Amino acid sequence: MSEYVAKLISEVKAKNPNEPEFHQAVQEILESLEVVLDRHPEYRAAKILERMVEPERVITFRVPWMDDQGEIHINRGFRIDMNSAIGPYKGGLRFHPSVNLGILKFLAFEQVLKNSLTTLPMGGGKGGSDFDPKGKSDNEVMRFCQSFMTELFRHIGPNTDVPAGDIGVGTREIGFLFGQYKRLKNEFTGVLTGKGLNWGGSLIRPEATGFGAVYFAHEMLRTKGLDIEGKTIAVSGFGNVAWGAVQKINQLGGRVVTLSGPDGFVYDKFGVKGEKVDYMLEMRASANDRVQDYAQKFKAEFYPNKRPWGIKVDVAMPCATQNEIFVDDAKELIKNGCSCVCEVANMPTTLDAYKVFKDAGILFAPGKAANAGGVAVSGLEMSQNSMRLPWPKDEVDHRLNQIMKEIHNTCLSTAERFGTPGNYVNGANIAGFLKVADAMLDQGLV
């Protein structure tokens, strides 16, 4: 590691204590960018990286709400306005008890480069709350969302910042948030994406992250003369993103043999298909957060408190959350012959586990490239809202597929241009960075 990058990483750590996920994302990205900084001293001179690791703005706020028994609760709300060099801030809202500033900053930092890769004009942001939707009634979730938006509305807008969903935020929550925004601003506008279909949402948005990631994995496999058809695939999680991925894998002839939740994982050697895919939605909506129910209902094997990476598969697609593949998992996957890891969640692989995959020379896609289909279709939803014209399903799916192919090719060509052919992590980080960095140079010292 160069002296400059090492110093910058240690400054980020000193200035942002207790934010290990943010440090992790910064380290991964800066390591990829060393070669760019060597070739382009202008970025160093303009302190582009020093600027990029500092959010343009961070908003934190109190979110008071009342439960069905009349008891008052106070949660913390956040929105990180990370970078607006190439468009309005754009990125999801996460409602999960683990949410804190460091996690949202890592997500916002990744989002800046991801959005740049989509080919669409979107800056990067992220937000959310430590609110736990688990076990809450619809009315409690509504009251929470209304209170959250009562502060957030003054900071967002269709040309300023356009939030969407992430863990714990789906169409129901986007509906409550949108309703409150409309009431406060007295305008019907595309201020959030992931909206319901009859009030401005785009077809394919719920499936887009998973669909896009499978298109990406398909492109990666094609570089080795392979494809998804006939492949055995391990998926983790059972949420919105996993659901989209499982559907597209089935359509392309692959077989998903695992799902996971906080309680453990299921191994279904016959494949997660047909009614079992719909059951994923039922399990998620039940808010029980258990995959054991699936194992009982469909007579699959259940492994409590374990991750699915010990099963013999050709491809692994982590779809749950950050840091869910550790060194031992990576070694196990390699030992069992896995030849392709496609990150669908954001940063599911630890830095050390990534090194295991890198050393083994297998295909490895970083989340910011492979899961960019979700935010890309959010960008298409913004276009449709501006035009006031909904596009048919085939058109959105076709555009999504084209965008994923373009991201894939950009990663490969950029990795090659900067001396690490086949390294999708370097390709994604560098290509995402260059567009944002050049826009920042053009716009002066802001």
Q: How many residues does the chain have?
A: 446
Stretch that binds ligand NDP, among 15-23, 81-89, 163-171, 176-184 (CB under 6 A): 163-171
Stretch that binds ligand NDP, among 26-34, 160-168, 274-282, 303-311 (CB under 6 A): 160-168
CB of 86 to ligand NDP, least distance (A): 19
346 near ligand NDP, rule: CB under 6 A: yes
With CB under 5 to 8 Å by kind, the binding choice for 168 among ligand 2IT, ligand NDP, none is ligand NDP
- How many Cβ atoms from other residues are within 10 Å of residue 224's Cβ? 11
Complex with ligand NDP: residue 317 or 434, whichever CB lies closer: 317
Rule CB under 6 A: choose which of 123, 374, 379, 432 binds ligand NDP: 374
Complex with ligand NDP: residue 109 or 418, whichever CB lies closer: 109
Instruction: Supply 200's token pair.
Output: 């401005």
Cα–Cα distance between 19 and 83 in angstroms, integer?
Answer: 19
201 near ligand NDP, rule: CB under 6 A: no
Rule CB under 6 A: choose which of 240, 247, 385, 414 binds ligand NDP: 240
Inter-CA distances, 19 with 13, 25, 28, Å: 8, 10, 15
193 near ligand 2IT, rule: CB under 6 A: yes
Instruction: Supply 230's token pair.
Output: 């006939």
Rule CB under 6 A: choose which of 21, 28, 166, 268 binds ligand NDP: 166
Q: Which of residues 295-314 bind ligand NDP (CB under 6 A)?
A: none
Complex with ligand 2IT: residue 12 or 376, whichever CB lies closer: 376
Inter-CA distances, 155 with 15, 58, 131, 329, Å: 25, 11, 20, 41
Catalytic residue among 105, 114, 126, 248: 126
Complex with ligand 2IT: residue 94 or 231, whichever CB lies closer: 94
166 near ligand 2IT, rule: CB under 6 A: yes
CA 3 to the chain's CA centroid? 31
Stretch that binds ligand NDP, among 52-60, 92-100, 148-156, 299-307 (CB under 6 A): 92-100
- Stretch 249-268: interaction string toward ligand NDP, x if CB under 6 A: ------------xx------
165 near ligand NDP, rule: CB under 6 A: yes
Q: Which residue is nearest to ligand 2IT (CB)?
A: 92
In SS3 terms, the chain reads as CCHHHHHHHHHHHHHCCCCHHHHHHHHHHHHHHHHHHHHCHHHHHCCHHHHHCCCCEEEEEEEEEECCCCCEEEEEEEEEEEECCCCCEEEEEEECCCCCHHHHHHHHHHHHHHHHHCCCCCCEEEEEECCCCCCCCHHHHHHHHHHHHHHHHHHCECCCEEEECECCECHHHHHHHHHHHHHHHCCCCCCCCCCCHHHCCCCCHHHHHHHHHHHHHHHHHHCCCCCCCCCEEEECCCCHHHHHHHHHHHHCCCEEEEEEECCEEEECCCCCCCHHHHHHHHHHHCCCCCCHHHHHHHCCEEEECCCHHHCCCCEEECCCCCCCECHHHHHHHHHCCCCEEECCCCCCECHHHHHHHHHHCCEEECHHHHCHHHHHHHHHHHHHHHHCCCCCHHHHHHHHHHHHHHHHHHHHHHHHHCCCCCCHHHHHHHHHHHHHHHHHHHCCCC
Rule CB under 6 A: choose which of 101, 152, 241, 437 binds ligand NDP: 241
Stretch that binds ligand NDP, among 270-278, 316-324, 355-363, 415-423 (CB under 6 A): 316-324
Instruction: Supply 355's token pair.
Output: 């090194």
201 near ligand 2IT, rule: CB under 6 A: no
> Is 182 tagged catalytic?
no
Cα–Cα distance between 435 and 422 in angstroms, integer?
Answer: 21
Complex with ligand 2IT: residue 127 or 254, whichever CB lies closer: 127
With CB under 5 to 8 Å by kind, the binding choice for 167 among ligand NDP, ligand 2IT, none is ligand NDP
CB of 128 to ligand NDP, least distance (A): 10
Q: Which of residues 107-126 bind ligand 2IT (CB under 6 A)?
A: 111, 114
CB of 389 to ligand NDP, least distance (A): 23
CB of 183 to ligand NDP, least distance (A): 25
Rule CB under 6 A: choose which of 128, 200, 366, 374 binds ligand 2IT: 374
Rule CB under 6 A: choose which of 8, 28, 29, 90 binds ligand 2IT: 90
Instruction: Supply 382's token pair.
Output: 């913004």
Site for ligand 2IT, rule CB under 6 A: 90-92, 111, 114, 164, 166, 193, 346, 374-375, 378
Site for ligand NDP, rule CB under 6 A: 92, 96, 98, 165-168, 209, 237-241, 261-262, 284, 289, 319-321, 345-346, 371, 374
- Active centre residues (catalytic): 126
